[in-house]
Amino acid sequence: MQRILNTLRLTAKELRAIARDVVMLVLIAYVFTVSTYMVADAISTEVDHLAVAVIDEDQSILSARLTDSIQPPLFKSPDMIAADQALQAQKDGKYILVVDFPPDMERDLKAGRSVTINIDVDATAVAHAGNGAAFMSQMLGQEITRYFSPSAVDGSQIDVVFRSFYNPNLTSKWFTSVMQLMNSITILTLILAGASLIREREHGTIEHVLVMPVRPPEIVVSKILANGLVILIAAVFSLIVVVEWLLAVPVSGSVLLFVLGTALYVIALASLGLLLATFTKNMGQYGLLVIPVIVVMILLSGGITPLESMPGFLQVAIRILSPAPHFVAFAQSVLYRGSGIGLVWPEMATMAGMAVFTFSVTLMRFRKVLSG
């Protein structure tokens, strides 16, 4: 009972220290509100009003019809340019796509000869360019088919229907908002946990704690509890107010289950943050150490690029060393697909195991630092 009381008192002390750190509070509020909203609302790989130019060397009814079919919202109304202007226009960044209808296109198609329509793509914006070129190619093909056989209906034709589950309109905002929230949890948990120990060392209050009748496990647990509680409250607020309300992203699963899984993830991260802080003496050193860790964890979490696209050895390594891919899989399953604990318990168990292991290593390292 005395250990529990000591831990609670130390937790209250940590919470008061966070409350007095105005800069940190502003950072937490900004990251979980403004930053989440801005990133989700502004960053998009959807095809939306792409700038298009058309080189019409055919000057036929078909080429005019194809030009008229290039319309918002996927594309801007196309500009007509000459062939010798296309290269410079794309160098100047004016157009993502330049569509070139060759001479005698309609006549060749009517005669049964093959025709090549060139689509020059500014591939510096890879996602937009690739998606835009695919949509443009599909649209032109459909329009040409309708032009030459407007009344052709064959009941034996196969109609392929795509059904998009969990994000029926393929809205990138639904994905980006949750991934940004998860990245914010990762970044701020590591920063807050490490800063709590660095702050004690820089202010000299760690010596005061050492003369108190408390043990290292109580100090470590109090720091994890205090910082984890702040992160959890901010994350739930961001999920409900920013993601679900402001961005109108439907949350299918249980928020309580998400909080439980996030708590396991936060414990593992906070333990890691404290472990890294034991190797540094000030915030400058800690920042240089933790930034590469954050970058690797986020980039290899599966939230930006699928794990399946990574080399096999890297997939195995990151699943063993980092809780981030397990948290990404857990959060996507719960928030998007509405999965219950029966489906996500393996990811939760893995995060719990990593939390226990990281906490144990941190505690051993913490004892050495205090004794030193």
| Closest to 10 in 3D by CA, of 270, 359, 18, 259 | 18
What is the per-residue pLDDT for 155?
A: 41
Q: Where are the alpha helices (DSSP H) in the chain?
A: 2-20, 22-30, 36-42, 61-69, 86-91, 105-110, 126-148, 172-203, 206-210, 216-237, 255-277, 283-299, 312-321, 324-331, 341-371
CA dihedral 20, 22, 25, 30 (to 10 degrees): 170
What is the per-residue pLDDT for 153?
A: 42
Spatial separation of the C-alpha atoms in residues 42 and 176, rounded to whole Å: 10
Query: Structural domain boundaries of the chain?
Result: 2-43+171-371, 52-148
CA angle 172, 175, 177 (to 5 degrees): 100
| Closest to 238 in 3D by CA, of 191, 189, 185 | 185
| Closest to 254 in 3D by CA, of 265, 268, 232, 239 | 239
Q: 316-346: per-residue pLDDT in tens?
A: 999 999 999 999 999 999 998 888 999 999 9
Q: 76-100: per-residue pLDDT in tens?
A: 899 999 988 988 888 887 888 899 9
Query: Dihedrals φ, ψ of 56, to 5°?
Result: -100, 95
CA angle 131, 137, 140 (to 5 degrees): 135
Is the pLDDT assigned to residue 158 strictly greater than 50?
A: no
What is the per-residue pLDDT for 233?
A: 95
Q: Considering the domain 52-148, what is its CATH architecture?
A: 3-Layer(aba) Sandwich (3.40)
Spatial separation of the C-alpha atoms in residues 308 and 260, rounded to whole Å: 27
CA angle 260, 239, 177 (to 5 degrees): 120
Of the chain, the end-to-end C-alpha distance in Å amounts to: 29
What is the per-residue pLDDT for 209?
A: 64
Q: 169-209: per-residue pLDDT in tens?
A: 767 788 888 889 999 999 999 999 998 888 877 766 666 66
pLDDT band of residue 239 (cuts 50, 70, 90) is: very high
Q: DSSP per residue over 161-207, as a string?
A: -----SSTT--HHHHHHHHHHHHHHHHHHHHHHHHHHHHHHHHTTHH
In the block, which residue shows the tokens 């505690």? 363
Is the pLDDT assigned to residue 216 strictly greater than 80?
A: no
| Residue 37 tokens, joined | 């909203």
Spatial separation of the C-alpha atoms in residues 363 and 217, rounded to whole Å: 7
What is the per-residue pLDDT for 157?
A: 42
What is the per-residue pLDDT for 323?
A: 95
